[in-house]
Copies of this chain bind each other. A is one copy, B any other.
Amino acid sequence: MSKSIPTREENYSEWYNEIVKRADLAEHSAVRGCMVIKPYGFAIWEKMQRALDDMFKATGHQNAYFPLFVPKSYLELEEEHAEGFAKECAVVTHYRLKSNPDGKGLIVDENAELEEPLVVRPTSETVIWNSYKNWIQSWRDLPVLINQWANVVRWEMRTRLFLRTSEFLWQEGHTAHATEQEAVEETEQMLRVYADFVENWMAVPVLQGLKTASERFAGAEETYCIEALMQDGKALQAGTSHFLGQNFAKSFDVKFVNKNNEQEYPWATSWGVSTRLMGALIMAHSDDKGLVLPPKLAPIQVVIVPIFRSEEDLAKINEKIEPITNALAEKGISFKVDDDDKYKPGYKFAEYELKGVPVRLAIGLRDLENGTVEVARRDTLSKETMPLDGVADHIESLMSEIQTSLYDRAQAFQKANTTSVETWDEFKAAIEKGGFVVAHWDGTDETETKIKEETKATIRLIPLNSAEMMGKCVYSGNDSPRQVVFARAY
C-alpha cells in the first residue's frame, strides 16, 4: 500500500484500475487481452453466479454445456450474425505443434491443418441451434429452456479489466418456443430477472428498455437491455435479452410439428450477463478508500479485529468473540476473525476498507472492561461503540440496512444525473456534464449516427412501455413519437 489511490475526481479511470488491482480482484495476464480473476474477485463472481443460477432455475431453466468451438461454416449460416462477429474471432487453424527442426522450441505443424477452421465461440447461438435441430421435432419438445455458464472470446485491441477483455466469463440462455408470443414473454421475463438481480443483489438501479436497430445483437429481431449509471456519469449496459424471431431456426433448419400437425419454425431467445457486471459493481459503489460491496455479494460480510498486545489479551478477547461468531454463523452471516500479529490494527482497517468488507468489529481491552465493541460501516465509514450483547442481531439488521442504503444512494445519484432536454444546446451541455439524457429522437439511423459523431453519446435504450408523447427531435427537429435515453457509455 505504497502510493495512495487517485481519487475518483482526479482520475476516474486510474481510480478504477487501482481498486481492481489493490482489492485483489483481477489482473492482466501476459496473454494479450485476457485477465486473471483472482480469488477475492472470483469469490464475488461465484456469489453472483449462485444467485443468478437460482433465479434461472426458479424460472424453469436447466444448465447444459456446448462445445467451445464453432465451425466457420456455422457462423456463416446466419448472415447478420456472421458479420457481427467475424471481425473479432480467435481462429483455430491447426491441431498440433511439433519440435522445431531448425532449433529449440515448438512450431505449428503445417501437416496438421484443420480442414475447416474453428472459431472460439464468441457466443453460442449457432452451435446450440445446430444441436436443437436434433432435440426439437414436435410441439411436445417445446419449450426448450437452456442456460450455459461458459467462457467466450471476442478479440479486443483495447481492453479494461472486467469491462472489456478478449476472454470473459458469462452465462448465455438459449430458448426455443412454439409461438412468437411465448418467446417475447421469455425475452421480457429474463430482462426482469436481470433487473431484479442487478437491483436487489448488486444494489444498482437500472433502466429497462429496447435497443435501437443499430445497437441490436447481430441476428436479433429485438434486443432488450438494462442500463446502469456509473459514478463518472457514463452508462454501462449490464445485461441483454434478445428476441431472435425465427432467424436461427431457419438458418439451421430446425422445425417442429405443431398441434395442427403442421411444420413450423420455433421462436428463439437468447440472453446473457457477464463478468462485466463485476465492473459495474465496482464502479457503482466504491469510493476513494477502495471497494464498497453490498452485503449480499460480499465474500466476507463481517471482519472482526481483536486489538491486543499479548497472547493473554488475545485469549481474553477471543472469549468474547466466540459467542458473536457463533451467532453470526447461525444467522448465515460470513465472517473472518483477523488475529494475525504481523500487522497493526490500523493497517488491517485500511486493508478491509480497500476490500469493501461491509462491517468491521474491533474489540480491545477497554471494550472488555466496558462490555462494548466498535462497529464500523464500510458504506458510510461511520463508527459506533455499542454493547457486546445483541451485537449479532445488530449486524444482521445492518446487513439489510447497508444493502438498502447502497441502492438508495445509487438511485439518488441516478435521479440527480438524469436530465430531460428539449434543445440541441441543452442536449450537448447535458451530455458533457454526464448522466442519462432524456430527449426526443426522430427514429432515424442517420440522426442517431450524427449525434454519436458529434457528442459520443449513444441511445442507451428506448424505455419499455413508455406512453406516446409527441415532440420534436432534439437534433433534427423532426417529429418524434417518444423520448429515448442517451448517454456516453462503457
**A131 to B28 Cα, complex, angstroms:** 9
Contacting residues, chain B, for A332 (C-beta < 8 A): none
Contact with B along A273-297 (1 / 0, CB 8 A): 0000000000000000000000000
As for how many copies of this chain the complex holds, the number is 2
Contact with B along A51-81 (1 / 0, CB 8 A): 0000000000011111111111111100000
Indicate if the CB atoms of B68 and A167 lie closer than 8 Å: yes
Interface size class of A (residues with CB under 8 A): 35 or more
Q: A63-B39, A63-B42, A118-B31 are in contact. Are A91 and B97 (CB under 8 A)?
A: yes
Contacting residues, chain B, for A69 (C-beta < 8 A): 31, 34, 90, 167
Residue of B nearest to A61 (CB): B39
Contacting residues, chain B, for A169 (C-beta < 8 A): 65
Asked whether any CB of chain B lies closer than 8 Å to the CB of A29, the reply is: yes
Q: A83 to chain B: closest CB distance in Å?
A: 8
Asked whether any CB of chain B lies closer than 8 Å to the CB of A46, the reply is: yes
Residue of B nearest to A76 (CB): B105
Contacting residues, chain B, for A46 (C-beta < 8 A): 63
Asked whether any CB of chain B lies closer than 8 Å to the CB of A96, the reply is: yes
**A184 to B97 Cα, complex, angstroms:** 32
Q: A66-B29, A151-B151 are in contact. Are A97 and B72 (CB under 8 A)?
A: yes
Q: A233 to chain B: closest CB distance in Å?
A: 31
Residues facing B in A369-420 (CB within 8 A) are none
Residue of B nearest to A70 (CB): B31
Among B34, B66, B83, B87, point to the contact of A36 (Cβ < 8 A).
Answer: B66
16 contacts between A and B (CB under 8 A): A30-B130, A34-B68, A34-B69, A36-B67, A42-B62, A43-B63, A67-B167, A68-B153, A75-B106, A76-B104, A89-B95, A91-B93, A91-B94, A92-B92, A93-B108, A120-B120
**A155 to B118 Cα, complex, angstroms:** 13
Q: A84 to chain B: closest CB distance in Å?
A: 12
Q: A54 to chain B: closest CB distance in Å?
A: 12
Contacting residues, chain B, for A71 (C-beta < 8 A): 30-31
Asked whether any CB of chain B lies closer than 8 Å to the CB of A88, the reply is: yes
A residues near B (Cβ < 8 Å) are 27, 29-31, 34-39, 42-43, 45-46, 62-76, 82-83, 86-99, 104-106, 108, 117-120, 127, 130-131, 134, 140, 146, 150-151, 153, 155, 167, 169, 342
Q: A87 to chain B: closest CB distance in Å?
A: 6
**A64 to B30 Cα, complex, angstroms:** 16
Residue of B nearest to A67 (CB): B34
Q: A377 to chain B: closest CB distance in Å?
A: 26
Q: A87-B97, A91-B94 are in contact. List 7 more A-B contacts (CB 8 A).
A: A30-B130, A38-B64, A67-B167, A69-B90, A82-B106, A86-B98, A93-B94
Contacting residues, chain B, for A153 (C-beta < 8 A): 68
Indicate if the CB atoms of A342 and B140 lie closer than 8 Å: yes
**A31 to B86 Cα, complex, angstroms:** 18
**A95 to B45 Cα, complex, angstroms:** 28
**A70 to B64 Cα, complex, angstroms:** 26
Q: A43-B63, A65-B169 are in contact. Are A131 and B97 (CB under 8 A)?
A: no
Contacting residues, chain B, for A94 (C-beta < 8 A): 90-91, 93, 117
Q: A142 to chain B: closest CB distance in Å?
A: 14
Indicate if the CB atoms of A72 and B106 lie closer than 8 Å: yes
Residue of B nearest to A31 (CB): B67
Most chain-B Cβ atoms within 10 A of its Cβ — which of A27, A34, A64? A64
